[in-house]
Amino acid sequence: MNIVAYDVKRTPAGELDASEPVVAYWLLNGEMERREELNRVERDKAYGVEATPGDTAGTYFLVFKADRKRRLSVRILNGCPAATTSIGGRSGILRRLFIQSKEDSALPKVEYVELFGEDGDKGKPLYEKFAPGK
């Protein structure tokens, strides 16, 4: 199974890279050593992200091309990169995201997205599954 991975890109000083704070790429067969860049259609229509500066220095807002309504915030939290967003109606730290897609002709179509995270205050698990655009 191929997996799209999202990594935070940092400067040598450890801050988020303002030119491209998050990069997305394929892990072929889920293997770390078999990496391939997303093609233009994948980047622009389904799996890519768009980053804009956030409200505070060192914070960026991200939207996934598959669902522009959902916004994430990315920043360095306690020395580690962290993405926060609403998960199941609660604010939380995103730990994992799963996108189920289907390849129709040349365009990937996202069927649903699953968000897995934890409540930032209590550490309790959070989960949400939704179909983009619905």
Q: Per residue of the chain (134 residues), what is the pLDDT tens digit?
A: 788 889 999 999 999 999 999 999 998 887 878 899 999 988 887 788 999 999 999 999 999 887 778 899 999 988 899 999 999 999 999 999 888 888 776 667 778 889 999 997 888 999 999 887 76
Total tally of structural domains belonging to the chain: 1
Q: What is the pLDDT of residue 78?
A: 86
Q: Whole-angstrom Cα distance, residue 109 to residue 34?
A: 24
pLDDT of residue 134: 63
What is the extent of the structural domain holding 54? Answer: 3-130
Q: What is the predicted pLDDT for the residue at 1? A: 78
| pLDDT for 106 | 66
Count other Cβ atoms within 10 Å, centred on residue 1. 6
User: What CA–CA distance (Å, rounded) separates 65 from 43?
Assistant: 8
Listed in sequence order, the residues at least 6 apart from 134 whose beta carbon sits closer than 8 Å to its beta carbon are none
Burial degree of 118 (CB within 10 A; 0-12, 13-18, 19+): middle
